Amino acid sequence: MQPVMRHLVWSVLLPAAVGSMAAAGVCLWWVPGGEKVPEPIKNTSLYKAVHRPPVPVSSPLVLPPAATSVGSAPAGAAHEAPPLREALNLPSFAPLVHQVIPAVVNISISHASSSSDDEDDDSDAASQPSTREQRHSVPATPRKKRHLRHHGAGKVRRMLHPADDELTGAGSGFVVDASGIIVTNRHVIGQATRIMVSLSDGRSLPAHSLGDDPMTDIAVIKVDSPTPLPCVSWGDSRQVEIGDWILVAGNPFGFGSSVTAGIVSAVGRDLGSGALDDFMQLDAPINPGNSGGPAFNLQGQVVAMNAAIASPSDGSVGIGFGIPSEIVAPVVESIRKTGHVEHGWLGVTLNDASFPMWVEDVDPHGAAWQGGLRKKDAILAIGNVPVHDARTVLRSVAAAHPGTVFNFTIRREGKVITLPVALGKRPTAAF
Contact 219, 212 (CB under 8 A): yes
The catalytic position among 137, 147, 164, 187 is 187
Which residues are registered as beta bridge partners of 20?
none
Contact 430, 276 (CB under 8 A): no
The catalytic position among 164, 165, 213, 217 is 217
- The yes-or-no answer on residue 311 being catalytic is no
- The yes-or-no answer on residue 51 being catalytic is no
- The yes-or-no answer on residue 217 being catalytic is yes
CA dist., res. 67 & res. 33, Å (int): 32
The catalytic position among 291, 311, 325, 396 is 291
Altogether, the residues listed in the chain come to a count of: 431
Active site residues: 187, 217, 291
